[in-house]
Structure 1
Amino acid sequence: MKTLKNINLLFLLSVLGFASCQSTIDKPIEGKIKRNTISVTGKIPGRVHEIRVHEGEFVKAGDTLAILSLPEVDAKMVQAEGAVKSADAQYKMTLKGATDLQLQQLAAKRDALQEQCKFAQTSVKRLSNMLQDSLISRQQYDEAYTKMQGAKAQYMATLAEFEEAKNGARVEQQIMALGQKDRAEGALQEAGAADKERYIIAPQDMSIENITLSVGELALPGYTLFTGYLNSSTYFRFTLPESKIGQVKNGQEVTIEISYAKTSAAGTIISISQLTHYADITTAYPDYEMGEAIYEIKVKPGDENAAKEFLANATVTLKL
């Protein structure tokens, strides 16, 4: 009887050992469906005014995800627009010169001084004749001659002032006014660029995974407002120990079993790289020695459009 029990025990151990070996041999290579992630941030601080998408929603590149309230930027826009108007008026004034009324005043002054200059010249001629006949003193003649020279100088100055007013400001003043105008326009462009940042735009086609803020909350520069998956970047990720890495190679055609969808997909191995530590494995029940190196296998799906519909992080099986 004891012998029979021993035989039964040995038989049971043999069956269990065979089953254990068989399960080790037949254990599938499990992995995960992966996609590249993307974070959408803001550049200008502001409060969330409106959120236009929902978690899980697919959006196209250029779609508006949210709108921020930026009162400080609105104030800068008004200031910049006023500075542009002022600088533009200053520049136009240097090109045009004096107004029509100012030109009329300068023309009247020019004509008056011209008449005074003519009268002074006539008086000097008369006094010159009288001086030759010794009818006046030399002092009287010199006084009249000095007045004539002064009247002539005033006339020439007024004539130059009239021409300058008619032709506009000097070139240096025009360049300076133009520089002020360009500076004001640059400030307006800067304010306009900041104003565009109130719209949080999707940089690529993506599916929204997480929305971090709610309406009314403050969004700081560089803070992640949305995270999402790039559906076009779907790939399959597996980990293999070095004892099994010889079964695969780059460019190898493989079949992927997608458990949750009960379907399969063709794929191509595009990358084999060693992992830096043992924590980054995707196989649920890894079978490897502690001293073995672990390698990451990336498989590109053959039908990328169909792969966009797969659920991220779902379990898949590699068939070689």
Structure 2
Amino acid sequence: MMRHLALMLACLGGLLLNGCRSDDSGRAMGTLERERLTLTAPASEIITDIRVHEGQVVRAGEVLLSLDSTHAEASVRVQQAQLDQANAYLSERTNGARQEELASAQARVEGANASLLEAQQQWQRATALRQQNLTGQADVDSATARRDSASAALDQALQQQRELTNGTRPEQLAQARAAVATAQAQLDNARRSLQELTLQAPADSVVDILPWHRGDRISAGSILVTLLSNSDPYARVYLPQNRLTGLTPGSHVSVQIDGLAQPLDGVIRSIRSQPAFTPYYALNERDRAALMYLTDIVFEGEALQQIVTLPSGRTLEVMLP
């Protein structure tokens, strides 16, 4: 039973391989294609509106569908509030201290100066009494401590007054401006994320695949819409390795498209450097001829005019040298 199953799988593999190869007449099969535009979901949201249907012709900038923007709008409001806060902080740093704050600082200096004067007088009296042995050393030490404390309080008040008078340091202003720039960038990013929830056609095209419905919840990165660009059509074929000799980008080949009486002259635009199917290193020398390379062929002039209205997917044959 296992031997019969293995034989069936081998036969099936042979049929698939022969289907990928060109026939012995030197022809390669392919299809007429146009550039595909794939639009993916920027976030995990619910589809709230669909304005197009499959097969519809759309113009660049036309709205295709919309996703729920509740969370994105809230994020914009949060970022706007943070920008307002950063701007207010920058204004505070730029404008400097208010007159009321300067007056309060001056009052603290005067109060500290008066306290120091009183503390010095008490220390002088305590020292004089000690010299007359009318008081103890503890009283002198206490008066000395009050004098030193009052002196330190005066220095602190003076430093605070100078800080308000001199204004904000350049480094602090730079930090405040950087905070504003960061908040502005975050707001711009939030607004861009909000705009991306409304998908627009990037170019004139036709809606090819639209697999979703209104109310569907989709995950970020899922394909929402596939468009076929109105760009010039081209032929896409798979060329076998043994037919690539002498063919390079720029080479001319004859292409017969179904529905046209005469073959057209095409120009090879690109040949993939890697085979489309089995990796090269996995094959022996005999099987390497079965490797298929994806090739794009473009048309120019009169040949292009003959196919510009043909639908994508039309089958064709390429005559190989």
Shorter-chain TM band: 0.5 to 0.7
1:166–1:263 distance in 2 versus 1, CA, 3 Å? farther
Q: CA separation in 2, counterparts of 1:175 and 1:295?
A: 61
Decide whether the 8 Å contact of 2:123 with 2:143 is kept in 1. no
SS in 2 for 1:215: coil
- Map 1:7-22 → 2, pairs under 5 A: none
After superposition, the C-alpha distances for 1:64-91 in whole angstroms (9 at most, x for unaligned) are 4322222112222222222333344345
Structure 2 residue runs without a partner (length 5+) = 1-23, 279-288
Decide whether the 8 Å contact of 1:97 with 1:164 is kept in 2. no
1:200–1:113 distance in 2 versus 1, CA, 3 Å? same
Q: What residue in structure 2 maps to residue 86 of structure 1? A: 85
Superposition RMSD in Å: 5.0
Q: CA separation in 2, counterparts of 1:119 and 1:247?
A: 106
Q: What residue in structure 1 maps to residue 66 of structure 2? A: 67
Q: What residue in structure 1 maps to residue 310 of structure 2? A: 310
1:173–1:35 distance in 2 versus 1, CA, 3 Å? closer
1:203–1:136 distance in 2 versus 1, CA, 3 Å? same
Decide whether the 8 Å contact of 2:276 with 2:291 is kept in 1. yes
Q: Taking structure 1 as the reference length, what is the TM-score of the superposition?
A: 0.62
Report whether the alignment pairs 1:227 with 2:226: yes
Q: CA separation in 1, counterparts of 2:101 and 2:204?
A: 64
After superposition, the C-alpha distances for 1:105-161 in whole angstroms (9 at most, x for unaligned) are 22123234445656777x689979xx6xx9996889968887665554433322222
Q: What residue in structure 2 maps to residue 16 of structure 1? A: none
Structure 1 residue runs without a partner (length 5+) = 1-24, 278-291
Tell me which amino acid in the other structure corresponds to 1:163.
Answer: R
The alpha carbon displacement at 1:312 in A equals 1.0
Query: Identity, % of aligned pairs?
Result: 23
Q: What residue in structure 1 maps to residue 285 of structure 2? A: none
Q: CA separation in 2, counterparts of 1:139 and 1:217?
A: 91
The alpha carbon displacement at 1:260 in A equals 3.6
Tell me which amino acid in the other structure corresponds to 1:100.
Answer: Q
Q: CA separation in 2, counterparts of 1:186 and 1:272?
A: 42
The alpha carbon displacement at 1:221 in A equals 0.8
Decide whether the 8 Å contact of 2:123 with 2:147 is kept in 1. no
Q: What residue in structure 2 maps to residue 100 of structure 1? A: 99
- Map 1:174-253 → 2, pairs under 5 A: 184-185=183-184, 187-203=186-202, 206-232=205-231, 234-237=233-236, 253=252
1:176–1:242 distance in 2 versus 1, CA, 3 Å? closer
The alpha carbon displacement at 1:220 in A equals 1.9
Q: What residue in structure 1 maps to residue 109 of structure 2? A: 110
Q: CA separation in 1, counterparts of 2:296 and 2:123?
A: 110
Decide whether the 8 Å contact of 1:31 with 1:316 is kept in 2. yes
Between 219-228 and 98-107, the greater mean CA deviation after superposition: 98-107
Q: CA separation in 2, counterparts of 1:87 and 1:242?
A: 63
Between 199-208 and 234-243, the greater mean CA deviation after superposition: 234-243
SS in 1 for 2:309: coil
Q: What residue in structure 2 maps to residue 301 of structure 1? A: 299
The alpha carbon displacement at 1:199 in A equals 2.3
1:110–1:231 distance in 2 versus 1, CA, 3 Å? same
1:305–1:153 distance in 2 versus 1, CA, 3 Å? same
SS in 2 for 1:232: coil
Decide whether the 8 Å contact of 2:232 with 2:304 is kept in 1. no
Q: CA separation in 1, counterparts of 2:230 and 2:104?
A: 76
After superposition, the C-alpha distances for 1:32-65 in whole angstroms (9 at most, x for unaligned) are 3233433210121222233344433444555543
After superposition, the C-alpha distances for 1:11-33 in whole angstroms (9 at most, x for unaligned) are xxxxxxxxxxxxxx99x986532
The alpha carbon displacement at 1:234 in A equals 2.3
Q: What residue in structure 1 maps to residue 282 of structure 2? A: none
SS in 2 for 1:196: helix
Q: Taking structure 2 as the reference length, what is the TM-score of the superposition?
A: 0.61
Q: What residue in structure 2 maps to residue 157 of structure 1? A: 156
Higher-Rg member (1/2): 1
Q: CA separation in 2, counterparts of 1:30 and 1:153?
A: 95
Decide whether the 8 Å contact of 1:265 with 1:302 is kept in 2. no
